[in-house]
A and B are shown apart, each in its own frame.
Chain A
Amino acid sequence: MAYDVDNPAPVIEPPRARTSRTPRKFTPGNFEMHAWLFMRLSGIVLVVLVIGHLLIQLVLDGGVSKINFAFVAGRWASPFWMTWDLLMLWLAMLHGANGLRTVINDYAERDGTRFWLKMLLYTATVFTVLLGTLVIFTFDPNIR
């Protein structure tokens, strides 16, 4: 059987045909790769933020004994420390939530258990991040 102009050979699509969704320059990783990278990058930032936080709250100027409402009001009067605490809250919560997601995936073997544990985790994480953010932004030193 010979092919000619009137009887062309069937065209077979190349196995990795480019589509509108094909990345142009690099192959983006999947979600797990981004999560892996996020853990390392956020971890490095958190080392600075959290150890700075521990130094201020627990070591300098009398340690934990000095902490009260007035101390919090003094620190959140500065946009710098508001930003510090906000960034620390978001990064630590997301870093911890992803870590616990990994732990749940590793040890909860039944599909239902794994699903509901992660739903509980995500609910608690969203609630805590939003609550903390709201408190930082709406803090009122003259509440009383």
Chain B
Amino acid sequence: MPAGTLYRGREGMWSWVAHRVTGVLIFFFLFVHVLDTSLVRVSPEAYDDTVAVYKTPIVALLEYGLVAAILFHALNGLRVVAVDFWSKGTKYQRQMLWTVMGIWIVLMIGALYPVLGHAVSELFGS
């Protein structure tokens, strides 16, 4: 790895990579989500049948991944805003990333039961 370059590796680059990857994933989900919601304009049955897919255990797991991506993108996005607009933003960008990761882990633990609870009870009985 070349020495002395500003953005190679470490927190700055990896948070940038993760922000891109989560952003693209969320955007692709958004297309699907607008399409599935649009089924309310077709018929209640068409909508309910499609939303039933969202309630299956496998999609619940994907949903947990979506929540993970959204929460990271939201929190790291606020960090990016702070880096750009706060005079000490660049100085504390690393500490802010670890703060983001801390809050993210707490929220992900909090989301475990609401997002995955119904899937667990369906798979392993109530």
Contacts and interface: CB of A to CB of B under 8 A. Distances in A.
Identify whether the interface residues of A are mostly helix, strand, loop, or mixed.
helix
A108 interface: no
Given A54-B70, A72-B47, A59 B23 contact: no
Interface residues of B, number: 38
B115 A58 contact: yes
B115 to A, nearest CB: 6
A138 interface: yes
Interface residues of A, number: 39
Nearest to A100: B27
A44 B24 contact: no
A44 B43 CA distance: 35
A40 B47 contact: no
Contacts of A77: none
Contacts of A96: 23, 26-27, 30
Contacts of B78: 43-44, 47
B44 to A, nearest CB: 4
Contact of B74 (A46, A73, A144): A46
B31 A124 contact: yes
Given A54-B70, A63-B115, A139 B41 contact: yes
Nearest to B74: A47
Nearest to B41: A135
B44 A69 contact: yes
Nearest to A48: B74
Contacts of A93: 30, 34
B101 to A, nearest CB: 17
Contact of B114 (A59, A92, A97, A99): A59
B24 A132 contact: no
A62 B115 CA distance: 9
Given A46-B74, A73-B40, 8 more contacts: A59-B111, A69-B48, A72-B40, A93-B34, A96-B27, A103-B24, A128-B35, A144-B44
6 contacts: A62-B118, A96-B23, A96-B27, A100-B23, A132-B34, A144-B43
Interface of A: 40, 43-44, 46-47, 50-51, 54, 58-59, 62-65, 67-70, 72-73, 89, 92-93, 96-97, 99-100, 103, 124, 128, 131-132, 134-135, 138-140, 143-144
